[in-house]
Structure 1
Amino acid sequence: MATCHGRDGASDRSTGRRCPAVVLIYALGAASVLVPAVLIPVAATRWAPAAQRSRAADRLRVAVAGLTGALGRNGAALVVLLAGSAAVVTVCWPLGEALSRLEPSVDHPVFDYVHARRVDGWAEVNSFVTALGDRYPLKWVTVVAAVGFAIAWRHRRWWIPLIALPMQFVVEQYTQQILAVTVNRGHPPTDVGTYPSGGCARVMLTFGVIAVLAGLTWNVSRRGRIAIATALAVLVSVEGYTRIYAEKHWLTDVLGGWIFGALLLGVLVLTVLVAEGRVRPPARSVHVAPVEATTTA
């Protein structure tokens, strides 16, 4: 039976009962799996269809159609990638500054709470799981997936997955570094992790782009797509939990990493869809000016 240790090293062995605080930490670990497992299917069935039919989504389709008509698919995809990445930095920079102000009131108490109640066995499990978000293992996942999808796409535009997967890795790395330098909020005393959490963003981007390419490669049902999105959300949520328990990041670093990763994934997914010509046509024509037919006597 696990025992909880306070800052002075005292344990709860005398009562033979689990420390309620440690049980709470385990419960939060379970919640990191259960919450996205419930929330994502609800969002996919209720909120996503409404967002796809929204006026903002149609305006985006109009813009993409205009770019594609002027620059072609590849040129439009490049513009989407560059402009979208700049927009993500523009949004996440002030977000990071705002989250930095919560460090004394939120990050330090959460860090101290977890640090004082760490259990060796659970810490080892979290340290093992959180390595999924490190750069080295995801480099191999990226390379293997890129080659595999390029082979699967050999009768179509095979170079798209061969570029898209390494590109997501590079774009994430440099946009994260830009934010880390501009926000410059420091790191926990136990590690050098800073805003935004790169581990959470890398997991979201790598497996998110793989999921999109899989959907473009095979005929995946709607239920299958929802299941894939749910699995991705669970992976990202668990990665955030382990980053906090392994004391690699402040809590707000993880929150920022989730937002940063989600925004950048949206940019990269749109880039791939534009390059592949899979963006739905707008509901209204790109040429909005009416053309009057005239007759001559």
Structure 2
Amino acid sequence: MTIVYVLAVLAVLVPLATVPVLAARWASAVDTGRTAERVRVALAGLTAAFGRVGAALVVLLAGAAAVVVVCWPLGEAISRLEPHVDHPVFDYVHARRVGFWEDINLFISPIGDRYPLKWVTAVAAIGFAIAWRRRRWWIPLVAMPLQFVVEQYTQTILAKVVDRGHPPTDLGTYPSGGCGRVLMTFGTILVLAALTWRIPRRVLIGLVTALAVLVTVEGYTRIYAEKHWLTDVFGGWFFGTLLTGVMVLAVLVADGRVRPPRTPVDPAPSSDDRLTTST
């Protein structure tokens, strides 16, 4: 039973120790790297061709499709670990469940359910729309419900194509939707907050760390409450991180907050230009 409690402590301490370090060391490196510059060039081209809203929609749809492409083979691979990893972990936890600890986990775990996050989504959409009333108020009003829908359907597609089954005690499958929903909902709220107010860098890193702790704790409770296999939770963390990154990028594109590339992108030629060139 001690191991169960130790893992609960690690679910809090590991993100507390690692996320601030990763955010401080990698953020600037990622922002100034070649890949980031190539992404900015591509986004500038999309924006020139389709406008900010069109480019943001392309980013969101193409990004969600890319997440499926990446997470599909991952799900097939970890499904093979089920008899060697998931079943032993499930049996170990099942044999050591304790009343008071079970009650705590069953109380925390529904944070990632769709019903409470629907209310969080609605309140955040309205609240940020009011806060943005003097600017593009429609962005949060659209982004918050859209992130909920995109997460739900992307996770459903992965669950269908991988089709790995579920624990005998619940219908949870790959990837963990609870972990993905927590990341998507509060990750989108966090980026909207950062665009609304001037949040100091240290505070922002602290908020990202708090979100990481919430997600790891959610994953732990999903395992202890026997709602998911262990590998479903790891898959949910990976899936949620990728999809949240896509959503954040789409919001930044829609609001015009992506830094332009160092090399200017030539605008798409108009029909008159093409006609002149052909003649």
Q: Same fold (TM over 0.5)?
A: yes
Q: Name the residue aligned to 2:271.
A: none
1:37 lines up with 2:16 in the alignment: yes
Q: Name the residue aligned to 1:139.
A: 118
Q: Name the residue aligned to 1:291.
A: none
Q: Name the residue aligned to 2:51.
A: 72
Aligned ranges 1:43-58 → 2 under 5 Å: 43-58=22-37
Structure 1 distance, partners of 2:262, 2:68, is 30
Q: Name the residue aligned to 1:195.
A: 174
* Counterpart among 208, 212, 215 of residue 229 in structure 1: 208
Corresponding letter in the other structure for 1:36 = P
Corresponding letter in the other structure for 1:141 = V
Structure 1 distance, partners of 2:122, 2:247, is 17
Q: Name the residue aligned to 2:139.
A: 160
Structure 1 distance, partners of 2:84, 2:30, is 35
Q: Name the residue aligned to 1:170.
A: 149
1:125 lines up with 2:80 in the alignment: no
Q: How high is the TM-score relative to the length of structure 2?
A: 0.94
1:97 lines up with 2:76 in the alignment: yes
Tell me the CA shift for residue 237 of structure 1. 0.5
Corresponding letter in the other structure for 1:270 = L
Q: Deviations for 1:246-271, whole angstroms, at most 9, x for unmatched residues? A: 00000000000000000000110000
DSSP-derived class of the 1:224 partner: helix
Tell me the CA shift for residue 31 of structure 1. 0.6
How many correspondences in the alignment?
267
Cα RMSD (Å) of the superposition?
A: 1.0
Structure 2 distance, partners of 1:283, 1:188, is 51
Q: How high is the TM-score relative to the length of structure 1?
A: 0.89
Structure 2 distance, partners of 1:175, 1:95, is 15
Structure 1 or 2: more helix by fraction: 2
Q: Deviations for 1:29-87, whole angstroms, at most 9, x for unmatched residues? A: 01101100111100011122111111011100000001111111011011101110100
* Counterpart among 88, 96, 99 of residue 67 in structure 2: 88
Q: Name the residue aligned to 2:235.
A: 256
Tell me the CA shift for residue 24 of structure 1. 1.4
Identity, % of aligned positions: 71
Corresponding letter in the other structure for 1:163 = V
Tell me the CA shift for residue 280 of structure 1. 1.1
Q: Deviations for 1:195-218, whole angstroms, at most 9, x for unmatched residues? A: 000000000000000000000000
DSSP-derived class of the 1:280 partner: coil
Structure 2 distance, partners of 1:279, 1:148, is 24
Structure 2 distance, partners of 1:115, 1:283, is 56
Uncovered stretches (5+) of structure 2, i.e. residues with no partner: 267-279
Structure 1 distance, partners of 2:104, 2:263, is 53
1:27 lines up with 2:6 in the alignment: yes
Corresponding letter in the other structure for 1:218 = W
Structure 2 distance, partners of 1:43, 1:74, is 31
Q: Show structure 1 runs of 4+ deviating over 2 A.
A: 283-287
Structure 1 distance, partners of 2:264, 2:27, is 23
Structure 2 distance, partners of 1:43, 1:286, is 32
Tell me the CA shift for residue 23 of structure 1. 1.4
DSSP-derived class of the 1:249 partner: coil
Structure 2 distance, partners of 1:105, 1:52, is 40
